[in-house]
Amino acid sequence: MNIDFGFVIPYLPILFKAAGMTIIITVLSQAIGTVLGFFFALARMSNIPVLRGVVWTYVLIFRGTPMLLHLFYIYYAAPAVGITLEPFTAAIVAMSLSTTAYNCEILRAGLQAVPRGQIEAAQAVGMTWPRILRTIVIPQALRVIIVPYMTNFISHTKGSSLASVITVPELMLTAQMIYSSTYRAIEILTAAGAIYLILTSALSMVQLWLERWLRYDERGLSRRRRRQLLLIERHG
Amino acid sequence: MAEAPMIEVAGLTKRFGESVQALAGIDLTVQPGEVVCLIGPSGSGKSTLLRSINFLEVPSGGLVRVAGKRVGFREGEGRERRLGGRELAAQRAEIGMVFQLFQLWPHKSALENVILGLVEVRGMALADAARIGHELMAKVDLAEKMDAFPEHLSGGQRQRVAIARALAMRPKVMLFDEPTSALDPELVGEVLAVMEKVAAEGMTMVVATHEMGFARRVSHRVVFMDQGRIVEQGPPEQIFGNPQSERLKRFLDRVLV
Q: pLDDT of A80-99, one tens digit each?
A: 999 999 999 999 999 999 99
- Contact between A156 and A26 under an 8 Å Cβ cutoff? The reply is yes
Task: Please answer yes or no on whether B106 and A140 come within 8 Å at the CB atom.
Answer: yes
The alpha-carbon gap from B2 to the nearest alpha carbon of chain A, in Å, equals 29
Instruction: Give the pLDDT mean for A182-210.
Output: 96
Residue B216: which of B37, B31, B30 has the closest Cα? B37
pLDDT reading at A159 higher than 50: yes
- In this prediction, residue A109 has a pLDDT band, given cuts at 50, 70 and 90, of very high
CA–CA dist A41, A62 (Å, integer):
14
Give, for all 257 residues of chain B, the pLDDT tens digit. 457 899 999 999 999 988 899 999 999 999 999 999 999 999 999 999 999 999 999 999 999 999 999 999 987 766 778 999 999 999 999 999 999 999 999 999 999 999 999 999 999 999 999 999 999 999 999 999 999 999 999 999 999 999 999 999 999 999 999 999 999 999 999 999 999 999 999 999 999 999 999 999 999 999 999 999 999 999 999 999 999 999 999 999 998 87
DSSP B170-214: --SEEEEESTTTTS-HHHHHHHHHHHHHHHHTT-EEEEE-S-HHH
- Contact between A55 and A108 under an 8 Å Cβ cutoff? The reply is no
- Contact between B239 and B249 under an 8 Å Cβ cutoff? The reply is no
CA angle B107, B110, B111 (to 5 degrees): 110
Chain B touched by A10 (CB under 8 Å): no
Task: Tell me the C-alpha to C-alpha distance, in Å, between residue B215 and each of B160, B195, B224, B247.
Answer: 19, 11, 11, 18
CA–CA dist B207, B177 (Å, integer):
6
Looking at residue B72, what is its pLDDT? Answer: 94
10 Å CB burial of residue B87 (0-12, 13-18, 19+) is middle
Residue B207: which of B113, B110, B99, B74 has the closest Cα? B99
Looking at residue A235, what is its pLDDT? Answer: 56
Interface of B to A at Cβ within 8 Å reads 54, 56, 85-86, 89-97, 99, 101, 103-107, 109, 111-112, 115-117, 120-121, 126-127, 130-131, 133-134, 146-147, 149-152, 162, 165-166, 168-169
CA–CA dist B112, B146 (Å, integer):
8
pTM: 0.90
Q: What is the mean pLDDT of chain A?
A: 95
Instruction: Give the pLDDT mean for A138-150.
Output: 96
CA–CA dist A179, A171 (Å, integer):
12
Task: Tell me the C-alpha to C-alpha distance, in Å, between residue B2 and each of A87, B5, B200, B238.
Answer: 79, 9, 21, 23
Looking at residue B79, what is its pLDDT? Answer: 75
pLDDT reading at A1 higher than 70: no
Give the pLDDT confidence of B146-155 residue by residue, as tens digits: 999 999 999 9
Looking at residue A4, what is its pLDDT? Answer: 87
CA–CA dist B23, B12 (Å, integer):
7
ipTM of the complex: 0.94
